[in-house]
Structure 1
Amino acid sequence: MKTKLLSLILFSPMIVFGAGGIDKVNTFMENLSTALYAVGAIVLTIAFMWAGFKIMFQGQTLREVAPVFIGGVLVGSASALAGYIIS
């Protein structure tokens, strides 16, 4: 019984010091989450700008550029949702 208690006391600091790796993982996941949110915003912005350009300057209808709107929303929301799930 004494040896088990002694070994627990001796090895518990090693477990506490080993937990420092979790901070690195948390930092990486936070950075990945931020990057995914940024990618979502960039994709949405580019899709809306492209569709707006097509409507304004090339005379296309909203029906013709609707797939771009839908695709931009799907890709942008998917990356934002992944960022939310990770965080």
Structure 2
Amino acid sequence: MYFIADKIVNTLIRKGLIQLKKDKPVIVDFVKQTLEQDAQREKEIDQKTLLYIENYKEQIKQENIDQAKFFQMIKRKIAEREGFVL
């Protein structure tokens, strides 16, 4: 995750979108932590989505619902309800 965070910070600097007021490693670490927290929150939303779908498993089968599309739809709704932007 450090590599991605470093690349993000480098791109922002190169494009003149940010000016560092702290040492670059501090900023990269902050971005890395933010990415990790977001990844963890998304995993939690995935788990909530799977639990929701499990409750409607039979109905999904009976109505021949596309599970991948249904998963994405429910995930978006849960994320929105929790104030998380996917």
Q: TM-score, normalised to structure 1's length?
A: 0.47
Considering Cα pairs closer than 8 Å and 6+ residues apart, tell me whether 1 or 2 has the greater RCO.
1
Q: TM-score, normalised to structure 2's length?
A: 0.47
